[in-house]
């Protein structure tokens, strides 16, 4: 039995404990998604695969973002966990993911945890940020940021957070204008789409 849970079961189901036996800070990651992310982080670190597993999870996040059928598949409670495990293993293998990543996905599916997949990915990225002593700002804008805009935003975020910031930019035309900036659990939404939504809500409340 060589599934993910058999490699490191105490990290998956127990408290957040490092390889040295130190309890991890619950201010970094927490809950079931945090336990799974931390387990994967520890195993990837020990195998010197942190960067490669991180790349796998970024590709997986893009897959969830751009393929709604796969995202709904992961969220569905009507699909058998064994079937989910087989499917995600095939998806990971076809995508060229590391064996560790594939085993992680298969185990998470068997335990009925794919509903937390997005949170697991985010928690893993948070752990990577902490490991590198930098913050990652996920910036989504209606049009691509220019180099000058990206540099200015990076400088402002660094001054605000007091640490180095790496920007991961995405384009989402549906925002119409403005941008959405997420750093960890903090979200700043200045998009026109959000402003219109707020306006509609205010008009309904004013009736």
Q: What confidence tens digit (pLDDT) does each residue in 97-152 have?
A: 999 999 999 999 999 999 999 999 989 988 888 887 777 788 888 888 889 888 88
Q: Comparing 78 with 198, which gets the higher pLDDT?
A: 78
Q: Determine which of 10-14, 77-81, 87-91, 158-162 has the lowest per-residue pLDDT on average.
A: 10-14
Poorest-pLDDT segment among 29-43, 53-67, 75-89, 161-175: 161-175
Residues 43-49: what's their mean pLDDT?
93
Q: What percent of the chain has pLDDT over 90?
A: 39
For the chain, list the domains and their CATH numbers. Answer: 4-129 (no CATH), 134-206 (3.40.30)
CB-based contact 165:157 (threshold 8 Å): yes
With H, G, I as helix, E, B as strand and everything else as coil, classify residue 16. Answer: coil
What are the residue ranges of helices labelled H in 3-49? 4-7, 9-13, 31-46
Q: Measured between alpha carbons, how far is 54 from 49 in angstroms, rounded to an integer?
A: 8
């Amino acid at each position: 039995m060589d599934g993910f849970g058999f490699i490191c079961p105490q990290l998956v189901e127990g408290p957040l404990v490092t390889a040295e036996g130190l309890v991890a800070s619950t201010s970094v990651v927490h809950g079931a998604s945090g336990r799974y992310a931390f387990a994967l982080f520890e195993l990837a670190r020990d195998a010197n695969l942190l960067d490669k597993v991180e790349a796998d999870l970024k590709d997986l996040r893009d897959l969830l973002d751009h393929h709604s059928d796969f995202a709904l598949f992961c969220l569905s409670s009507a699909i058998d966990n064994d079937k989910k495990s087989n499917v995600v293993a095939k998806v990971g293998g076809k995508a060229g993911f590391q064996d560790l990543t594939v085993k992680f996905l298969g185990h998470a599916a068997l335990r009925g945890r794919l509903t937390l997949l997005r949170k697991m990915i985010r928690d893993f990225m948070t752990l990577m940020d902490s490991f590198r002593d930098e913050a990652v700002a996920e910036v989504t804008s209606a049009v691509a940021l220019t180099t000058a805009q990206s540099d200015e935003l990076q400088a402002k975020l660094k001054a605000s957070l007091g640490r180095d910031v790496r920007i991961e930019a995405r384009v989402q035309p549906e925002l119409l204008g403005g941008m959405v900036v997420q750093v960890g659990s903090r979200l700043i939404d200045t998009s026109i789409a959000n402003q219109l939504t707020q306006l509609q809500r205010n008009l309904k409340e004013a009736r």
